[in-house]
Protein backbone atom coordinates (compact mmCIF):
# COMPACT_ATOMS: atom_id res chain seq x y z
CA UNK A 1 0.00 0.00 0.00
CA UNK A 2 2.88 2.37 0.81
CA UNK A 3 4.47 1.74 -2.55
CA UNK A 4 1.20 2.44 -4.36
CA UNK A 5 0.69 5.67 -2.42
CA UNK A 6 4.22 6.81 -3.23
CA UNK A 7 3.84 6.04 -6.92
CA UNK A 8 0.48 7.79 -7.15
CA UNK A 9 1.82 10.87 -5.37
CA UNK A 10 4.88 10.98 -7.63
CA UNK A 11 2.68 10.72 -10.73
CA UNK A 12 0.58 13.63 -9.46
CA UNK A 13 3.72 15.71 -8.88
CA UNK A 14 5.05 14.85 -12.34
CA UNK A 15 1.71 15.82 -13.88
CA UNK A 16 1.80 19.20 -12.12
CA UNK A 17 5.39 19.70 -13.28
CA UNK A 18 4.40 18.88 -16.84
CA UNK A 19 1.51 21.35 -16.83
CA UNK A 20 3.65 24.09 -15.26
CA UNK A 21 6.50 23.49 -17.73
CA UNK A 22 4.18 23.55 -20.77
CA UNK A 23 2.56 26.76 -19.56
CA UNK A 24 5.96 28.33 -19.03
CA UNK A 25 7.17 27.12 -22.42
CA UNK A 26 4.31 28.92 -24.18
CA UNK A 27 5.09 32.29 -22.60
CA UNK A 28 8.84 31.85 -23.17
CA UNK A 29 8.14 31.23 -26.86
CA UNK A 30 6.05 34.38 -27.01
CA UNK A 31 8.93 36.33 -25.48
CA UNK A 32 11.67 34.68 -27.61
CA UNK A 33 13.47 33.51 -24.49
CA UNK A 34 15.67 30.88 -26.13
CA UNK A 35 17.66 29.77 -23.10
CA UNK A 36 14.53 29.04 -21.00
CA UNK A 37 12.91 27.37 -24.03
CA UNK A 38 15.79 24.91 -24.26
CA UNK A 39 15.79 24.29 -20.52
CA UNK A 40 12.02 23.78 -20.48
CA UNK A 41 12.24 21.26 -23.30
CA UNK A 42 14.85 19.21 -21.44
CA UNK A 43 12.74 19.42 -18.29
CA UNK A 44 9.64 18.17 -20.09
CA UNK A 45 11.59 15.19 -21.46
CA UNK A 46 12.97 14.38 -17.99
CA UNK A 47 9.52 14.57 -16.40
CA UNK A 48 8.05 12.25 -19.03
CA UNK A 49 10.92 9.84 -18.42
CA UNK A 50 10.23 10.01 -14.68
CA UNK A 51 6.56 9.24 -15.22
CA UNK A 52 7.48 6.29 -17.44
CA UNK A 53 9.89 4.99 -14.82
CA UNK A 54 7.23 5.30 -12.14
CA UNK A 55 4.62 3.40 -14.12
CA UNK A 56 6.99 0.73 -15.44
CA UNK A 57 8.96 0.24 -12.18
CA UNK A 58 12.22 1.42 -13.80
CA UNK A 59 14.68 2.25 -11.03
CA UNK A 60 17.32 3.86 -13.25
CA UNK A 61 14.85 6.21 -14.92
CA UNK A 62 13.82 7.55 -11.53
CA UNK A 63 17.45 8.12 -10.58
CA UNK A 64 17.98 10.10 -13.80
CA UNK A 65 14.82 12.10 -13.06
CA UNK A 66 16.01 12.87 -9.53
CA UNK A 67 19.44 14.00 -10.77
CA UNK A 68 17.82 16.25 -13.35
CA UNK A 69 15.66 17.87 -10.66
CA UNK A 70 18.82 18.96 -8.86
CA UNK A 71 19.99 20.70 -12.04
CA UNK A 72 16.50 22.14 -12.53
CA UNK A 73 16.54 23.69 -9.07
CA UNK A 74 19.90 25.26 -9.86
CA UNK A 75 18.62 26.69 -13.14
CA UNK A 76 15.53 28.21 -11.58
CA UNK A 77 17.62 29.63 -8.75
CA UNK A 78 19.73 31.35 -11.41
CA UNK A 79 16.58 32.79 -13.05
CA UNK A 80 15.45 34.18 -9.71
CA UNK A 81 18.85 35.81 -9.16
CA UNK A 82 18.84 37.13 -12.73
CA UNK A 83 15.49 38.89 -12.50
CA UNK A 84 16.22 40.22 -9.02
CA UNK A 85 19.64 41.39 -10.28
CA UNK A 86 21.60 39.64 -7.58
CA UNK A 87 25.33 40.29 -7.67
CA UNK A 88 26.65 41.36 -11.07
CA UNK A 89 23.60 40.18 -13.00
CA UNK A 90 21.76 43.01 -14.73
CA UNK A 91 18.76 42.91 -17.04
CA UNK A 92 19.80 46.19 -18.65
CA UNK A 93 23.00 44.92 -20.22
CA UNK A 94 22.79 41.13 -20.13
CA UNK A 95 20.45 39.39 -22.57
CA UNK A 96 21.30 35.94 -21.36
CA UNK A 97 17.81 34.57 -21.85
CA UNK A 98 17.95 35.15 -25.62
CA UNK A 99 21.56 33.99 -26.08
CA UNK A 100 22.30 37.64 -26.88
CA UNK A 101 20.53 37.30 -30.26
CA UNK A 102 17.79 39.88 -29.72
CA UNK A 103 16.54 42.64 -27.43
CA UNK A 104 13.37 40.81 -26.46
CA UNK A 105 12.48 40.56 -22.80
CA UNK A 106 9.97 38.54 -20.88
CA UNK A 107 6.48 38.39 -22.44
CA UNK A 108 5.08 39.54 -19.12
CA UNK A 109 6.89 42.85 -19.42
CA UNK A 110 4.21 44.21 -21.77
CA UNK A 111 1.35 41.84 -20.96
CA UNK A 112 1.38 41.73 -17.19
CA UNK A 113 -1.81 42.28 -15.19
CA UNK A 114 -2.91 45.90 -15.47
CA UNK A 115 0.06 46.97 -17.61
CA UNK A 116 -0.43 49.94 -19.93
CA UNK A 117 1.98 50.07 -22.87
CA UNK A 118 2.70 53.41 -24.50
CA UNK A 119 4.96 53.61 -27.58
CA UNK A 120 7.58 56.34 -27.66
CA UNK A 121 7.59 57.94 -31.10
CA UNK A 122 10.69 59.32 -32.80
CA UNK A 123 13.07 57.82 -30.26
CA UNK A 124 16.73 58.02 -31.26
CA UNK A 125 17.85 55.27 -28.88
CA UNK A 126 15.88 52.53 -30.60
CA UNK A 127 17.90 50.20 -32.85
CA UNK A 128 16.72 49.38 -36.37
CA UNK A 129 13.46 47.39 -36.56
CA UNK A 130 12.78 48.09 -32.87
CA UNK A 131 10.63 50.56 -31.00
CA UNK A 132 10.78 52.07 -27.56
CA UNK A 133 7.85 51.71 -25.18
CA UNK A 134 6.97 52.73 -21.68
CA UNK A 135 5.08 50.37 -19.39
CA UNK A 136 3.08 51.66 -16.46
CA UNK A 137 0.24 50.70 -14.16
CA UNK A 138 1.29 47.07 -13.68
CA UNK A 139 -0.24 45.39 -10.67
CA UNK A 140 2.79 43.09 -10.54
CA UNK A 141 6.05 43.77 -12.34
CA UNK A 142 7.19 41.18 -14.87
CA UNK A 143 10.33 40.25 -12.96
CA UNK A 144 8.28 39.22 -9.94
CA UNK A 145 6.02 37.11 -12.15
CA UNK A 146 9.11 35.32 -13.47
CA UNK A 147 10.45 34.91 -9.94
CA UNK A 148 7.12 33.47 -8.78
CA UNK A 149 7.09 31.03 -11.70
CA UNK A 150 10.61 29.84 -10.88
CA UNK A 151 9.74 29.51 -7.19
CA UNK A 152 6.82 27.23 -8.09
CA UNK A 153 9.14 25.14 -10.26
CA UNK A 154 11.61 24.80 -7.38
CA UNK A 155 8.85 23.79 -4.96
CA UNK A 156 7.54 21.08 -7.30
CA UNK A 157 11.08 19.89 -7.98
CA UNK A 158 11.82 19.49 -4.28
CA UNK A 159 8.69 17.39 -3.75
CA UNK A 160 9.47 15.40 -6.88
CA UNK A 161 13.03 14.72 -5.73
CA UNK A 162 11.91 13.43 -2.34
CA UNK A 163 9.27 11.12 -3.77
CA UNK A 164 11.53 9.96 -6.60
CA UNK A 165 14.15 8.87 -4.07
CA UNK A 166 11.49 7.17 -1.94
CA UNK A 167 9.86 5.29 -4.81
CA UNK A 168 13.19 4.24 -6.32
CA UNK A 169 14.25 2.90 -2.91
CA UNK A 170 11.03 0.86 -2.73
CA UNK A 171 11.63 -0.47 -6.24
CA UNK A 172 15.20 -1.43 -5.36
CA UNK A 173 14.14 -3.19 -2.15
CA UNK A 174 11.49 -5.16 -4.02
CA UNK A 175 14.00 -6.16 -6.67
CA UNK A 176 16.54 -7.28 -4.07
CA UNK A 177 13.93 -9.33 -2.22
CA UNK A 178 12.81 -10.94 -5.46
CA UNK A 179 16.40 -11.87 -6.24
CA UNK A 180 16.78 -13.32 -2.74
CA UNK A 181 13.90 -15.76 -3.14
CA UNK A 182 15.20 -16.88 -6.51
CA UNK A 183 13.03 -14.80 -8.81
CA UNK A 184 15.94 -14.00 -11.10
CA UNK A 185 18.26 -16.79 -10.01
CA UNK A 186 18.49 -19.49 -12.63
CA UNK A 187 19.86 -21.88 -10.01
CA UNK A 188 17.13 -21.23 -7.45
CA UNK A 189 14.87 -23.96 -8.76
CA UNK A 190 15.69 -26.99 -10.82
CA UNK A 191 12.82 -29.12 -12.09
CA UNK A 192 13.21 -32.88 -11.77
CA UNK A 193 14.99 -34.24 -14.77
CA UNK A 194 14.07 -37.42 -16.46
CA UNK A 195 16.70 -40.09 -16.54
CA UNK A 196 18.07 -40.88 -19.96
CA UNK A 197 18.83 -44.47 -18.94
CA UNK A 198 15.78 -46.65 -18.91
CA UNK A 199 15.99 -50.23 -17.67
CA UNK A 200 13.97 -52.61 -19.81
CA UNK A 201 12.32 -55.59 -18.12
CA UNK A 202 11.29 -58.69 -20.07
CA UNK A 203 7.58 -59.25 -20.42
CA UNK A 204 6.34 -62.82 -19.85
CA UNK A 205 2.97 -63.99 -21.11
CA UNK A 206 1.20 -67.22 -20.29
CA UNK A 207 1.51 -69.65 -23.22
- Judged by average pLDDT, the poorest of 86-100, 149-163, 191-205 is 191-205
The verdict on residue 153 lying in a domain is yes
The verdict on residue 117 lying in a domain is no
Does residue 58 or residue 3 have the better pLDDT?
58
pLDDT of residue 85: 84
Over residues 93-103, the pLDDT tens digits come to: 556 777 666 66
Does residue 155 or residue 182 have the better pLDDT?
155
The verdict on residue 54 lying in a domain is yes
- Domain that includes residue 14, residue range: 6-103+141-175
The verdict on residue 118 lying in a domain is no
Burial profile 134-145: b = 16 or more Cβ within 10 angstroms, e = fewer: eeeebeeebbeb
Mean pLDDT of 71-91: 88
As for how many domains the chain has, the answer is 1
The model's pTM is 0.76
Mean pLDDT of 127-155: 83
The verdict on residue 76 lying in a domain is yes
Sequence-distant (6+) residues with CB within 8 A of 128 are none
pLDDT of residue 123: 55
The verdict on residue 121 lying in a domain is no
CA-wise closest residue to 38 among 75, 93, 91, 81: 75
Mean pLDDT of the chain, nearest integer: 80
pLDDT of residue 197: 54
Q: What percent of the chain has pLDDT over 70?
A: 70
**Residue 115 confidence class, pLDDT cut points 50, 70, 90:** confident
Whether 154 shows a pLDDT value over 60: the answer reads: yes
The verdict on residue 129 lying in a domain is no
Mean pLDDT of 21-39: 92
Whether 177 shows a pLDDT value over 80: the answer reads: no
**Residue 167 confidence class, pLDDT cut points 50, 70, 90:** very high
**Residue 108 confidence class, pLDDT cut points 50, 70, 90:** confident
**Residue 187 confidence class, pLDDT cut points 50, 70, 90:** very low
How far lies 43's CA from each of 95, 97, 147, 191, in Å? 22, 16, 18, 49
Does residue 23 or residue 3 have the better pLDDT?
23
Distance of CA 125 to the CA centre of its chain: 40
The verdict on residue 57 lying in a domain is yes
Amino acid sequence: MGKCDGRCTLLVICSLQLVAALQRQVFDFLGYQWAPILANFLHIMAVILGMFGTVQFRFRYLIFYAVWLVLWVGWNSFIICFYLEVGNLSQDRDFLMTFNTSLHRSWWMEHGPGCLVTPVLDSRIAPDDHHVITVSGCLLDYQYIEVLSSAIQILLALFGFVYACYVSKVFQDDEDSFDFIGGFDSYGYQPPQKSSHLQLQPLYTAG
